[in-house]
Amino acid sequence: MTTREQLTFERTQALLRQLEALQNQQEFRAIREAAELGEAEQAVTQRDKAIDEIVTDYQSARSSFDTAVADYGAAGDTATRMSAVATAVQAQQSQIDEIVEYLVLTSDSL
């Protein structure tokens, strides 16, 4: 092999190594991006589940409130009526507080 052929061979080998390194970087970047996307999708799924739980809890509290209002209408004395409404309002306020707290926390993390 002549000196010129040797230099050409070495340059070709160097270019092939650079190309391989570039391909490895691109593959690594693609893997990392896929992992980040998966983490984001998982976070969204967890957030959606938490929202569903909050909505279910809210609906339960709303049902309790509606029951308390019905009990209010059926109750004979004012003290019983006020107690039923106060209990229902307190339960609903707790659910609203949880929703607001969750939304504040998730908006900070997004």
76-89 confidence digits (pLDDT tens): 666 776 777 777 77
pLDDT at 110 over 70: no
Check residue 75 and give its pLDDT: 60
| pLDDT tens-digit readout, 39-53 | 888 888 888 888 888
Task: Compute the residue count for the chain.
Answer: 110
Burial bucket for residue 71 (CB in 10 Å: 0-12, 13-18, 19+): middle
| pLDDT tens-digit readout, 1-28 | 677 777 788 888 888 888 888 888 888 8
Q: Tell me, yes or no, if the pTM score tops 0.75.
A: no
Check residue 96 and give its pLDDT: 80
Domains of the chain, by residue range, sit at: 3-109
